[in-house]
């Protein structure tokens, strides 16, 4: 798939803050294929006002992958994974995991 050959990727994060202000909101996201770290992203949102809906778009460099690694990722669906960690004031408040398959349409 062409996605694995992109040079830049954009991601939009949307979140709603409740009735209390949020200080030092941060998201760290790590992408792996099997046990190999492909890319780590660190996004800082800083201060978020109470009762607000927030949207933030990040455009970042996508790691250049070798053709052999791309082929392996396509042939091994769900072995590409990500972990997303969300922090407020340096305290972990949520951890999401996702698995990816790049073999769609083949």
Predicted TM-score (pTM) of the model is: 0.83
Domain ranges of the chain: 2-100
pLDDT computed for residue 105 by the predictor: 63
Alpha-carbon dihedral of residues 83, 37, 40, 51, nearest 10 degrees?
Answer: 0
pLDDT of 60-96, one tens digit each?
Answer: 888 899 999 999 999 999 999 999 999 999 999 999 9
Question: Taking a C-beta distance cutoff of 8 angstroms, is the pair 80, 99 a contact?
Answer: yes
pLDDT computed for residue 24 by the predictor: 94
The SS3 of residue 3 is helix
Candidates 33, 8, 38, 4; CA nearest to 106 is 4
* pLDDT value at 1 more than 80: no
pLDDT of 42-63, one tens digit each?
Answer: 989 889 999 999 998 888 888 8
pLDDT of 8-24, one tens digit each?
Answer: 988 888 999 999 999 99
Out of 2.70.50.40, 3.40.50.80, 3.40.640.10, 3.30.565.10, the CATH code matching 2-100 is: 2.70.50.40
């Amino acid at each position: 798939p062409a996605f694995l050959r992109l040079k830049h990727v954009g991601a939009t994060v949307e979140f709603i803050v409740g009735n209390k202000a949020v200080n030092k909101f941060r998201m760290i996201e790590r992408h792996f294929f099997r046990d190999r770290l492909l890319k780590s992203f660190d996004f800082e949102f800083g201060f978020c006002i109470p009762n607000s809906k927030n949207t933030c778009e990040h455009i970042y460099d996508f790691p250049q992958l070798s053709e052999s690694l791309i082929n392996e990722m396509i042939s091994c669906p769900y072995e590409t994974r990500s972990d997303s960690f969300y922090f407020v004031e340096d305290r972990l408040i949520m951890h999401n995991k996702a698995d990816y398959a790049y073999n769609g349409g083949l």
